[in-house]
């Protein structure tokens, strides 16, 4: 079944706006669904990606009051690609500012990939604000994750042809130092043609891991605005990854231990090549009373139909029961 058949119908936001959070940053946010529904915070991945209209369709508009926002430097937040005063600590505080601004007492935290790590960090810092958490395709932000994604002995050993194309787009001296080469190519002041090539190569490598086993589609033809947005996305991501997202694996797992008492569902695609299954196991072991569901036939993309179905199922279960004690279903 195509993923779109599982999603809820598209709908316009109830409200959207910009929130001043200090340091020259303004965050774009939107509220969707049912104004008096179960409050839910959506945390996008990346880092650097931003939110989009399709993500709203994961949530039943008759049940949930969904808040989505673009993190510092991302999407419609300003300044776009701004890396000044842009660390995980600031993002955690931004989330709390947004909750208070919207007058929400407590909410369910829903995050995937980098959004899962940020969700753990936020829940640990503000446990009284959290009804529960749903964490999909968890990224632990440590060196092992970066070596897997950017190293010749990680995912490159599985997607060898895509890795060869990725390396061909980087300077010859980047062998074994792909992330460092990308950071240099995307830094402020980098030559525009170099930045465009690095961003396009990064996007193609990421797409290959998100859709393993599929014939690679030709790269999209991007206009000037789309090219600039892609560079800005990966500029923020390079900033975060160069600093292990200002967390690191042990810090994420330590924060998970601080989530005791917060009902938590961990959902992970069995075929995920972006964030390994090992991450879900380690997070599950560190997170008291969490529940883990493996999703067969799914990778990292939340819109892989089996993963979409599992996420909507977890959301519905929490809306009905308020916990994950009897989830996942047999």
Catalytic residues: 113, 272, 300
Sign of the CA dihedral 185, 191, 193, 199? positive
Nearest to 318 by CA among 14, 36, 63, 23: 63
| Nearest-angstrom CA–CA distance, 204 and 191 | 20
Q: What angle do CA 112, 40, 16 make, to 5 degrees?
A: 100
* Buried residues in 197-206 as b, exposed as e (16+ CB within 10 A): ebbbbbbbbb
Structure tokens at 184: 């240099």
- Inter-residue contact 13 to 5 (CB < 8 Å): no
Residues paired with residue 42 on neighbouring β-strands, in sequence order: 68, 110
Burial (Cβ within 10 Å: 0-12, 13-18, ≥19) of residue 327: middle
Note the residue count of the chain. Answer: 330
The whole-angstrom separation of Cα 179 and Cα 234 is: 11
């Amino acid at each position: 079944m195509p993923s779109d058949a599982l999603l809820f119908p598209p709908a316009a936001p109830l409200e959207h706006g910009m929130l001043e959070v200090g340091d020259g940053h303004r965050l774009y946010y939107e509220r969707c669904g049912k104004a008096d529904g179960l409050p839910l915070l959506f945390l996008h991945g990346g880092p650097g990606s931003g939110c989009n209209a399709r993500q709203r369709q994961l949530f039943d508009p008759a049940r949930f009051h969904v808040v989505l926002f673009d993190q510092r430097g991302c999407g419609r937040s300003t300044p776009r690609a701004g890396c000044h005063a842009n660390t995980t600590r600031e993002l955690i505080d931004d989330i709390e500012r947004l909750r208070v601004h919207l007058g929400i007492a407590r909410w369910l935290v829903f995050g995937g990939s980098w959004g899962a790590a940020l969700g753990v960090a936020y829940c640990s810092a503000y446990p009284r604000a959290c009804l529960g958490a749903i964490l999909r395709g968890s990224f632990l932000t440590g060196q092992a994750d970066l070596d897997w994604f950017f190293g010749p002995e990680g995912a490159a050993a599985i997607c060898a042809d895509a890795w060869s194309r990725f390396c061909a787009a980087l300077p010859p001296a980047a062998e074994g130092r792909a992330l460092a080469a990308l950071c240099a190519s995307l830094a402020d002041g980098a030559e525009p043609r170099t930045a465009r090539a690095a961003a396009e190569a990064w996007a193609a490598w990421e797409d290959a891991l998100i859709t393993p086993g599929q014939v690679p589609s030709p790269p999209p033809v991007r206009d000037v605005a789309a090219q600039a947005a892609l560079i800005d996305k990966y500029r923020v991501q390079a900033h975060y990854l160069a600093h292990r997202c200002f967390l690191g694996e042990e810090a994420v797992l330590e924060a998970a231990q601080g989530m005791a008492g917060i009902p938590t569902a961990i959902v992970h695609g069995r075929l995920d090549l972006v964030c390994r299954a090992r991450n879900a196991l380690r997070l599950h072991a560190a997170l008291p009373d969490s529940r883990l569901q493996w999703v067969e036939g799914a990778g990292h993309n939340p819109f892989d139909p089996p993963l979409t179905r599992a996420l909507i199922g977890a959301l519905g279960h929490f809306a009905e029961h308020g916990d994950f004690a009897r989830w996942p279903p047999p």
